[in-house]
Amino acid sequence: MKAISFAGALTLATVALADNSAAPPPLPLGLSPQLYKLTVPQPPTPAQVTLGEKLFNEKRLSADNSVSCATCHDPAKAFADGKPQAVGIKNQVGQRNSPTVLNALFLATQFWDGRAATLEDQAKLPILNPIEMGMPSPEAVVTKVRAIPEYRDAFQKLNGREPSYDDIASAIAAFERTRMAGNARFDRFLTGNSNALSAQEKRGWALFNGKGRCNSCHAGNAVSPLFSDQKFHNIGVAAHKQDFVQLASEALRVVRAGDEEQIDRLALESKFSELGRFLVTRHENDIGSFKTPTLRNVGVTGPYMHDGSMATLWDVVDHYNKGGITNPYLDGGMQRLGLTEPEIDDLVAFLFALTSEDFAALEKKELTAQRARKTKRPERDTAVALGKKGNLGDLAPNPDLKNPADLGLYGPVAAPEK
């Protein structure tokens, strides 16, 4: 084994790679410069970004000039929309909750089911989706944009040619590549300011990595700042709504019969989209799996889950606490957690501490709104969570999980009261 650390190797390599591309923008606290360098080998130019932002807010990219990217990814709402499911032209409601654009550049795949590999690929699809922006074809989009002088000139200046659909998508993607989020209370805490988190938030961080098992999929640390494993898991959300098992066996039958086209048609039907990642990979094991979303700004980007079916973070923790919703394809890592009510509060408090500073006002508003709903807990099943009912999780003696916060791992411990 060579005694050379990964970060060291990266530094060596970055030195070796130094070339004339634009210097990376200053990153918000908590994001890794190495990760940025890997993700954005060539930072977008200001001209690209300006044009991209304009397009991002451009309602004329939709069939009836009523919906832009920003309609569902509203910069004022942390680039989400606060609605359970996205609403497109003619007030049509889609199947999915709008995920935030912040830090999307770092994600290995785009969309809840990961069907797009890049921001460029992603940008093209909502414009053409009949429920979202409803443009009939890429050609129609290009024709419409070319007819608007300001865009025609801007693209001419940028690329020296009339815009193509690819050009439009890459401009939007260039803007999205500048949308990063860090700079949360948690980041200040992690970089050595132990007063940045309250005692409750520190207890939540310990639960996050301990009893709550959140870090199994949402690990977050200095080198992996996204709080997402970028994988796909079935946690049972899709099993809420319909006879999921029936749905899955129908889909499997179609796949075994080898009719890929039919699956694509099914995917557009509402209920089949609940099969999630399976529609992309056709692997049985991916039935009902959706991408692990980043947890940065999770407090201000509710409602939660791929379908926006959970209104508050308390609902989300309740869902995990009872081990998700049983279904044949439930991820094997799901088990009941046995979190008590005060522990749930601590965990939620920590999740709010992942909000970037610029959304402090929004965070306050959201926290108040979510707190007000604390009495309404549709996902709660304390009996199952604590193992008094059902068959979820070992009832073996609880492991002796000392709270790392009490051991002083997250800063000084207050002296016990006499």
Partner 1 sequence: MRKGVKSIETKHYEERDSFFDGLRKLDRRSFMRLAGLSAGIAAAKGLITPQGFQLISVAEAATPTPSAKPKFSFAYISDSHLYKQELNDRFVRSLLRAVDDINRLDPQPDFVLYGGDLAQLGQKEELDLGKQILKTLKAPVKMMVGEHDWFLDMGEHWRGLFGEPQYSFDHKGVHFVTLMSVNEKDFWTERGMTPMERMQTVAGLDNGLQSRFEVGAAGREWLKADLAKVDKNTPLVVFSHSPLYKYYKQWNFWTDDADEVQALLRPFKNVTVIHGHTHQLLSNQIGNIQFHGMLSTAWPWPYAPEGLPSLTVPMNRTDPFSNFDGCGDGRMDVLESGLVDKLYNLWDRNPVTVKSSYLASSGKQDRPPASKLPPY
Query: How near is the Cβ of 251 to partner 1 at its closest, in Å?
Result: 13
Strand ranges in 121-276 using DSSP code E only, listed in sequence order:
232-233
Binding to partner 1 by residue 283, rule CB under 8 A? yes
- Pick the stretch among 87-95, 302-310, 327-335, 341-349 that binds partner 1 (CB under 8 A): 327-335
Identify the residue among 265, 285, 358, 371 touching partner 1 (CB under 8 A). Answer: 285
Q: Smaller CB distance to partner 1: residue 41 or 136?
A: 41
355 part of the interface to partner 1, by CB under 8 A: no
Active site residues: 132
- Which residues, 13 to 32, sit near partner 1 by CB under 8 A? 13, 16-17, 19
CB of 215 to partner 1, least distance (A): 11
Long-range contacts, stretch 199-202, CB < 8 angstroms, 24+ apart:
199/405, 199/414, 200/345, 200/346, 200/349, 200/350, 201/346, 201/349, 201/350, 201/352, 201/353, 202/350, 202/405, 202/410, 202/411
Binding partner 1 (rule: CB under 8 A), the pick from 24, 136, 328, 378 is 328
**For residue 63, what are the CA distances in angstroms to 89, 170, 243, 304?**
8, 20, 35, 28
Residue 66 binding partner 1, by CB under 8 A: no
The residues in 97-156 that bind partner 1, with binding defined as CB under 8 A, are 106, 108-109, 114, 117-118
Q: Positive or negative, the Cα torsion across 32, 179, 29, 23? A: positive
DSSP 259-284: -HHHHHHHHHSTGGGGGBTHHHH--G
What dihedral do alpha carbons 131, 79, 24, 165 form, nearest 10°? Answer: 20
Using the rule CB under 8 A, is 33 a contact of partner 1? no
- Cα separation, 178 vs 28, in Å, equals 11
Peptide bond into 25 cis (omega under 30): no
Query: Which span sits near partner 1 by CB under 8 A: 125-133, 276-284, 293-301, 347-355?
Result: 276-284
Residues that bind partner 1 (CB under 8 A): 1-2, 4, 6, 9-10, 12-13, 16-17, 19, 35, 38-39, 41, 106, 108-109, 114, 117-118, 216, 230, 245, 249, 255-256, 258, 282-285, 328, 331-333, 335, 391-396
